[in-house]
Amino acid sequence: MDNLLPIKFRILHYLSTVETACADDFLIALKDEYGREKYFKKSVITEHLMDMKANFIIDDDEVLLDDAGQLVIYYKINDEGRKLLKKYLPKSWKNA
């Protein structure tokens, strides 16, 4: 059994380690962990990010268009999100 976090949890955790990140950043950063799994795709990550924003644990930051004219949204964790991580992140991940 792997020691990975559920992907939504890991997205929140990753956001606590960087200033801001967009969906593509997660695809690159978490590829080694989840890259072989079928549901590890941009649409899933985007939906998780929007869900977490709707639950007030992350905020959106910069909004821009990439070279192809696609919308890119950067997110950052807020105090509520950090509180959740402090309380519920497994010990093995806190020390990682």
The residues binding another protein (CB under 8 A) are: 1-2, 4-9, 12, 37-39, 48, 50-52, 54-57, 60, 63-65, 71, 73, 84, 87-88, 90
Instruction: Report the candidate in 37, 74, 69 with the shortest Cα–Cα distance to residue 59.
Output: 74
- Spatial neighbors of 15 by CB under 8 A, at least 6 apart, are 21, 58, 75, 76, 77, 81
**Shortest reach from residue 72's CB to another protein, in Å:** 8
**Shortest reach from residue 95's CB to another protein, in Å:** 16
Instruction: Report how far Cα 5 is from the mean position of its chain's Cα atoms.
Output: 12
Nearer Cβ to another protein (37/42): 37
Nearer Cβ to another protein (88/95): 88
Neighbour count for residue 48 (Cβ, 10 Å): 20
Nearer Cβ to another protein (9/29): 9
